Structure 1
């Protein structure tokens, strides 16, 4: 079954449309009822219009109604109804389309023959035509739902992969933060004591060799302290990748992130170049996670990313509008915002998130410049 579907997908769309036009023409030729110039012209227009059904589904449907009225055919109106149902989400429009098709198919032509056909027979034909017209609409809606579900399943898998990466990043960040604290509180403290004792020995001793040895120990201790401070800074600032061989994202990469996020997002504001690398990375990750949540929980929504500086603090606010399409209930590890709050805490900042007044959602990160 899947192999047949794959083969069907490989058929070019123009070939399918031309085949449907040919099928509708054959249907008209076999069931030609009104062979007047007007009837044939309306039938030709309705059949030819099927070639444009993908671009103008509503217009093509309206052009097939005269065919259903003047000729005893089924292919053209059924194909037009199916295309309209596959591409439209307006249930009221589809219901009106079914009713119009049923009326056109059951009304005798010319209209003067209505009295000859009888009201009972016309009513029976109307009910039969109504059921016939409802079938392609239901099938078209089924195809539309299946396509939406396939797209959402792909989004779910993408979001899961992203959440797994963020969770692993958050775990690694916590481990590095713990390692940084241990290095700062234990190793740095002990090396500082060695440097102080070596300095004291260098001043107190009169032995030249001992003084030189103390000076060397003190110099090495100071150098080691500087290297330890650098390592602690790197451990606290690292974003959680398995390796630091690749460059970490900064504010310069933010516009590219917004453009490739798959959402309708706008970036506003600027920050001074003096903002430190840890703060830039935290802002980048916050925007990345917020846009992921917009794509996951608010399909069709637009987002606004605003960079700002308030006195001695910098930050970013990501606000999205309410979704325009219903969202599926997606499973999540709930680690995305947790990881962002931990990252903000390491920089002595704050992260706030919650619904906005307009019915959307807002994420706000604030980082003090003095602790950047």
Structure 2
């Protein structure tokens, strides 16, 4: 359809206007009843006015009306009506212009008495003739509006697809950032703690230097991980992980390999959903990691509990028994835990205890999914 219309669109507008004026003038010259000076002058004005029909459609139509008095079907009037209908959205104005064209076409010229029946027939004929270009012009206008609307819909869809792709990417980045912090940082910090302990305990110079190097590299890696997690979180969003992760069945192994003096107590019902199990696991993992980093030698207690329709875990550690190592903190752990809790319509509370320790408490609805 667009290829068929392309050649017409390549014709310059002035050329089209000149041809339209010429064709209208030939039509008037061949079909006008009487070539009086007044009639020729009015016809000439109406034909020349067609060159300005795009800018002044209503005025050009009014200038072509006298031509309808002097011939049966005036091409200039029909062209002016079509242009007006193609550009105007005023239906009442178009109806009035059709009526005026029909009246002009059915009025005898020169003015004289005429058969009323014949005048009525001519009026109906003129009315139908004038309505045709108006309907066609309105059709083209509606077609353009529809094409414009389809373009807008397509643009909206493209924008929606782009937003969806960005949202998916943001969720993936947020998930990656959270897993990097929860899993990778957990393992690297454990390596740093063990290397630091070995550096203090060993008397062999080579072993001490190797332990110092391992601890230094681990600290540097934690710094880089912190930067990466911060960048991923800045471009990501709050989202729920969809990838299967450790569950409550892995808690015993986590507590035993945490590198702290920790004890796991309590049980949870089997009805706890997988997302809630992951949130509990990550909470325990983060809390024990913080105990290793900030409370060396402290005893920790991991308590699983159920309170009515809620389940949760409380991780409490005592005061540290020795100075902590200067390991970097990402400041993202508790933020990630709170995000998990919010997603599952739960709460996370954390803060120091009166005895100098620290407590992290997660509460999640039993049916959270």
TM-score with structure 2 length normalisation?
0.61
Q: Is the CA contact 2:98–2:127 (under 8 Å) kept in the aligned structure 1? A: yes
Q: Counterpart in 1 of 2:41?
A: 41
Q: Counterpart in 1 of 2:77?
A: 77
List gaps (5 residues or longer) in structure 1. 241-344, 349-372
Deviations 1:41-77 (A, max 9, x none): 1110000000111111111111111221244441000
Does residue 87 of the first structure (1) align with residue 84 of the second (2)?
Answer: no
Does residue 214 of the first structure (1) align with residue 185 of the second (2)?
Answer: no
CA distance in 1, matches of 2:62, 2:25: 17
1:168 deviation in Å?
2.2
Q: Counterpart in 1 of 2:107?
A: 107
Q: Counterpart in 1 of 2:125?
A: 128
Q: Is the CA contact 2:199–2:208 (under 8 Å) kept in the aligned structure 1? A: yes
Q: Is the CA contact 1:28–1:73 (under 8 Å) kept in the aligned structure 2? A: no
Relative to 1, partners in 2 of residues 1:239 and 1:130: Cα closer, same or farther, differing over 3 Å?
farther
Q: Counterpart in 1 of 2:256?
A: none
Relative to 1, partners in 2 of residues 1:164 and 1:36: Cα closer, same or farther, differing over 3 Å?
same
Find the structure with the greater CA-based Rg: 2
CA distance in 2, matches of 1:127, 1:76: 19
1:148 deviation in Å?
1.6
Deviations 1:269-301 (A, max 9, x none): xxxxxxxxxxxxxxxxxxxxxxxxxxxxxxxxx
Identify the range of structure 1 (118-127 vs 65-74) with the bigger mean alpha-carbon deviation. 65-74
CA distance in 2, matches of 1:182, 1:2: 53
Match of 2:189 among 173, 192, 195: 192
CA distance in 1, matches of 2:206, 2:81: 99
CA distance in 2, matches of 1:227, 1:177: 17
CA distance in 2, matches of 1:7, 1:36: 40
Q: Counterpart in 2 of 1:51?
A: 51
Runs of 4+ off more than 3 Å? 1-4, 70-73
CA distance in 1, matches of 2:11, 2:147: 20
CA distance in 2, matches of 1:68, 1:105: 5
CA distance in 2, matches of 1:55, 1:226: 69
Q: Counterpart in 2 of 1:139?
A: 136
Does residue 11 of the first structure (1) align with residue 11 of the second (2)?
Answer: yes
CA distance in 2, matches of 1:3, 1:186: 59
Relative to 1, partners in 2 of residues 1:239 and 1:120: Cα closer, same or farther, differing over 3 Å?
farther
Match of 2:115 among 93, 103, 118: 118
Does residue 171 of the first structure (1) align with residue 168 of the second (2)?
Answer: yes
Deviations 1:71-120 (A, max 9, x none): 44410000000000111111111111111111111111233x1x2x1221
1:39 deviation in Å?
1.5
Relative to 1, partners in 2 of residues 1:3 and 1:207: Cα closer, same or farther, differing over 3 Å?
closer
CA distance in 2, matches of 1:154, 1:14: 29
Three-state SS of the structure 2 residue aligned to 1:210 is helix
1:40 deviation in Å?
1.2
Deviations 1:184-235 (A, max 9, x none): 1111122112222222332333332222222211111111011111111222
Aligned length: 240
TM-score with structure 1 length normalisation?
0.60
Match of 1:162 among 159, 162, 186: 159
List gaps (5 residues or longer) in structure 2. 238-338, 343-369
Three-state SS of the structure 2 residue aligned to 1:89 is coil
Identify the range of structure 1 (211-220 vs 44-53) with the bigger mean alpha-carbon deviation. 211-220
Q: Is the CA contact 2:61–2:81 (under 8 Å) kept in the aligned structure 1? A: yes
Identify the range of structure 1 (56-65 vs 155-164) with the bigger mean alpha-carbon deviation. 155-164
Three-state SS of the structure 2 residue aligned to 1:33 is coil
Deviations 1:240-289 (A, max 9, x none): 9xxxxxxxxxxxxxxxxxxxxxxxxxxxxxxxxxxxxxxxxxxxxxxxxx
Q: Is the CA contact 2:172–2:236 (under 8 Å) kept in the aligned structure 1? A: no
Three-state SS of the structure 2 residue aligned to 1:215 is helix
